[in-house]
Amino acid sequence: MKQLEGKVVVITGGCGLLGGKFCRAVLQAGGRVAVADIDLSQAESFAESLQSEFGRESACAVKCDITEKESLLSAIAETERAMGAINALVNSAYPRNKHYGRSFFDVEYEDFCGNLSLHLGGYFLASQQFARHFVQRGGGSIVNIASIYGVTAPRFDIYQGTTMTMPVEYAAIKSALIHLTRYMAKYLRGTGVKVNAISPGGIADGQPEAFLQAYAEYCSEKGMLDPDDICGALVFLLSDASRYINGGNLIVDDGFCL
């Protein structure tokens, strides 16, 4: 079943760990995708690989910096020239500065504020500009990628014995993003624009085995998830099957938050 037949979806961070899988999931569901990434050459290369698999008209590449208004407006215009009317935006970019991820007491004020500006501010700006465009066009859908750590407090014990931590900036960003999603859903009521979020659990990406085992102790079956495990929720929220879901936050975490 092609749940996204005829839909054009812009995916920011389209070359990323999640974004790349999201692009493929949209195409497998019958939609078409604009790979929107700050690295245009990488986006073009990825879009070409998608075209070779799904057809020439299936994908395009656009340069997009979610922290720059003009870049977002250009991405919207370029996508519509290449693919026609846009139906949805998926915010999956992960902008951060070089000091991101330090331990709590090592985080400088400037870096904390800077990372909130890049990530949360970027999601706000992208959502704002696409929402304005969707209102003018009679409707659309926005899906923000949040996190379980926007829903629940960190489980710091799973990081013991590793050099990893749960960045304080991440908790602040993702919790605020969930509420921003609700705010926009309510503000845009009656415009035909719906705004939802997905909060994934941890995504496997080469983490130490000790961490993976400790994480899995809190889960029901699998533990750390693969990017593909999030795609079903995304396709659902982009499809007409979720028509009356607005301001929602779908948690996909294998029971980690329980």
Structure tokens at 138: 């009679």
Instruction: Give the CA radius of gyration of the chain.
Output: 18
Q: Give the CA dihedral 222, 226, 228, 233, nearest 10 degrees.
A: 60
pLDDT in tens, 102-112: 999 999 999 99
Q: How far apart are CA 236 and CA 239, in angstroms?
A: 5
- Is there a catalytic annotation at residue 159? no
- What tokens appear for 69 in the block? 């208004």
Q: Where are the alpha helices (DSSP H) in 138-227?
A: 168-187, 209-216
Q: What are phi and psi of 31, to 5 degrees?
A: -85, -175
CA separation for the pair 134, 130 (Å, rounded):
6
Average pLDDT taken over every residue of the chain:
97
Q: Which two structure tokens, joined as six digits, stand for 125?
A: 């700006």
**What's the pLDDT score for residue 52?**
98
Q: pLDDT tens digits for 118-170?
A: 999 999 999 999 999 999 999 999 999 999 999 999 999 999 999 999 999 99
What is the structure's pLDDT at 233?
98
Q: Residue 16: pLDDT band by 50, 70, 90 thresholds?
A: very high
89 band by pLDDT with thresholds 50, 70 and 90: very high
pLDDT at 117: 98
Q: Is the pLDDT of residue 1 over 90?
A: no
Residue 9 — very low, low, confident or very high, per pLDDT cuts 50/70/90? very high
The predicted model gives 189-202 an average pLDDT of 98
Residue type, 203: I
What local confidence, expressed as pLDDT, does residue 169 receive? 97
pLDDT over threshold 90, residue 23: yes
In this predicted structure, the answer to whether residue 20 has a pLDDT above a threshold of 90 is yes
The one catalytic residue among 94, 123, 159, 170: 170
Within 98-227, residue ranges assigned H as helices are 109-137, 168-187, 209-216
Across 16-32, average pLDDT: 98
Tell me the torsion sign for CA atoms 52, 53, 55, 59: negative
Which one-letter DSSP state was computed for residue 218?
Answer: T
